[in-house]
């Protein structure tokens, strides 16, 4: 096995544990603890976020630096959203998330951080309202909060986590598990390759999506365009919860 694919000791132990036979007592105690932890995260999230009012979630890379143009754009988008009466929800960390919270805070708007415990990258930024910072251990609980309490998604350039959140939202809307809300991808050049693959491979070659699925999102370049997509959407439809 090469150095690139060699597993860490922690990963090896996880694999061994998955193949180990467990007795009922061990299964019951382990599952019960996990169940109550998951329930507590849902209860805490629902309790805090149900009070925040209409918000837009801003996603993007934790690695984006303040001198990056996308950081500035995310900050501008957040400020413009606040001026329209929306709060801003981010993943609570650095990079694009920090930019979103910073822009909301600068305009006196609601600045929400839905943080996650990670072994690297993630620590909460200083622009989140103290009473609106929630830290989760489970990604799937965190993603429910993003979708349930957001009236729109702004997706800035990011990595695997950003793509995960984007496709989660698209899937839920496509399958009508939640109501339609605007999803805006910012940075045409950044998303161009993915869009080409979606159109030529997913749609045309394999027919794994329908042509109308391409209407579930918009792609823009500027903060003004991104906010206009959301504002125009809600000028046609009543603002309502997604669940």
Q: Which of 29-33, 135-139, 195-199 has the lowest mean pLDDT?
A: 29-33
Q: Are 89 and 146 in contact (CB under 8 A)?
A: yes
Domain contains 52: yes
Domain contains 29: no
Domain contains 63: yes
Residue span of the structural domain in which 108 resides: 38-236
Domain contains 32: no
| The model's pTM | 0.86
Please write the tens of the pLDDT for every residue from 54-94.
Answer: 999 999 999 999 999 999 999 999 999 999 999 999 999 99
Say yes or no to pLDDT of 170 above 70: yes
Domain contains 18: no
Q: Are 145 and 45 in contact (CB under 8 A)?
A: yes
Instruction: Give the CATH number, domain containing residue 198.
Output: 3.40.50.450
Domain contains 120: yes
State how far the alpha carbon of 40 is from the alpha carbons of 9, 27, 141, 227, 241, in Å: 31, 20, 10, 34, 22
Domain contains 165: yes
Starting at the earlier edge strand, list the strands of the sheet with 87-90.
133-136, 111-116, 87-90, 55-59, 153-155, 183-186, 218-220
Domain contains 219: yes
DSSP state of 84: T
Number of domains into which the chain is organized: 1
Mean pLDDT of the chain: 89
Please write the tens of the pLDDT for every residue from 88-113.
Answer: 999 999 999 999 999 999 999 999 99
């Amino acid at each position: 096995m090469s150095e690139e694919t060699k597993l860490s000791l922690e990963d090896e132990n996880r694999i061994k544990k998955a193949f180990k036979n467990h007795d009922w007592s061990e299964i019951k105690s382990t599952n019960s603890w996990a169940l109550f932890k998951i329930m507590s995260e849902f209860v805490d999230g629902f309790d805090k976020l149900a009070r925040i009012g209409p918000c837009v979630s801003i996603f993007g890379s934790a690695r984006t630096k303040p001198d990056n143009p996308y950081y500035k754009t995310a900050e501008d988008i957040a400020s413009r959203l606040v001026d329209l009466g929306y709060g801003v929800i981010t993943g609570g960390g650095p990079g694009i998330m920090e930019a979103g919270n910073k822009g909301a805070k600068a305009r006196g708007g609601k600045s929400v951080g839905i943080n996650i415990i990670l072994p690297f990258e993630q620590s909460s930024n200083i622009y989140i309202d103290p009473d609106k910072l929630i830290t989760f251990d489970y990604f799937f609980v965190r993603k429910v909060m993003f979708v349930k309490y957001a009236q729109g998604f702004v997706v800035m350039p990011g990595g695997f986590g950003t793509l995960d959140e984007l496709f989660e939202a698209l899937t839920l809307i496509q399958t009508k598990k939640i109501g339609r809300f605007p999803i805006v991808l910012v940075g045409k050049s950044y998303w161009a390759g993915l869009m080409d693959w979606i159109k030529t491979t997913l749609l045309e070659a394999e027919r794994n999506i329908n042509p109308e699925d391409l209407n579930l999102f918009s792609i823009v370049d500027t903060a003004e365009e991104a906010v206009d997509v959301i504002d125009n959407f809600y000028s046609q439809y009543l603002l309502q919860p997604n669940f």
